Amino acid sequence: MLFKVEMVVRIPPEMPADTAEQIKREEKQYAQRLQEQGVWRHLWRVAGQYANVSIFDVESNEALHNLLTQLPLYPYMEVTVTPLCRHPSSIHPDDR
Q: Which residues of the chain form contacts with a second copy (CB under 8 A)? A: 1-5, 12-13, 27-28, 31-32, 35-36, 41-50, 52-53, 55, 60-62, 64-65, 68-69, 75-76, 79-92, 95-96
Q: Of all helices (H) and strands (E), which one includes residue 53?
A: strand 51-57
Residue 41 CB neighbour total at 10 angstroms: 16
Least distance from a second copy to the Cβ atom of residue 94, Å: 9
Minimum gap (Å) between residue 22 Cβ and a second copy: 15
Closest distance of CB 30 from a second copy, Å: 9
Q: Give the integer Cα–Cα distance in Å for 56 and 88.
A: 20
Smaller CB separation from a second copy, 18 or 91: 91
CA distances from 35 to 22, 42, 47 (A): 20, 8, 21
Q: Report the chain's C-alpha Rg in angstroms.
A: 14
Considering the complex, state which of residue 21 and residue 95 has its C-beta at the smaller distance from a second copy: 95
